[in-house]
Amino acid sequence: MAFNVLIVDDSSTMRSVIRKTIEMSGFDVGQFFEAGNGREALSVLDKEWADIILTDLHMPEMDGRALLKALHAQATVSTTPVVIVTTEGREERLDELLGMGARACIKKPFRPEEIRNILMDVLGMDEEAMQDKEALEGCDF
């Protein structure tokens, strides 16, 4: 079972770091999509089916906070889990984002295990469920 991941960050270097970290973590990715800011992310989501969105906060044009708001206004993507990836350390700021519907916050830099645990948790997949699912995928019915 593979998940499609959208990475939103204005730094292409940071996008590929995040991408590599996720790849290293063993998290099963179907497709990666990338966007340089919130607006680009919305246009990617118009065409592509993402299961989880990782977004930076400070970006030109449309920042992570505005993206979070925009996602909630659209029926098809309002339930897609959003994880904030940031250097922001202030608790009240992160609490505000969680209150706006972000499912988790992760501070840069992060280790592969950390991101894997967060992604699995946000998607509701524990290890046991993954094993069950893998067993089921092999079934004919």
Shortest Cβ 30–other proteins spacing (Å)? 7
- What amino acid occupies position 3? F
Cβ distance to other proteins smaller for residue 77 or 84: 77
Shortest Cβ 105–other proteins spacing (Å)? 22
Shortest Cβ 126–other proteins spacing (Å)? 11
Give the integer Cα–Cα distance in Å for 106 and 63: 17
Cβ distance to other proteins smaller for residue 31 or 87: 31
The residues binding other proteins (CB under 8 A) are 1-3, 30, 47-49, 51, 75-76, 79, 123-125, 129, 133, 136-137, 139-141
CA-based Rg of the chain, rounded to a whole angstrom?
Answer: 15
Cβ distance to other proteins smaller for residue 16 or 80: 80
CB 48 within 8 A of CB 31: yes
**Burial letters 115-131, b for 16+ CB under 10 A, else e:** bbebbbebbebeeeeee
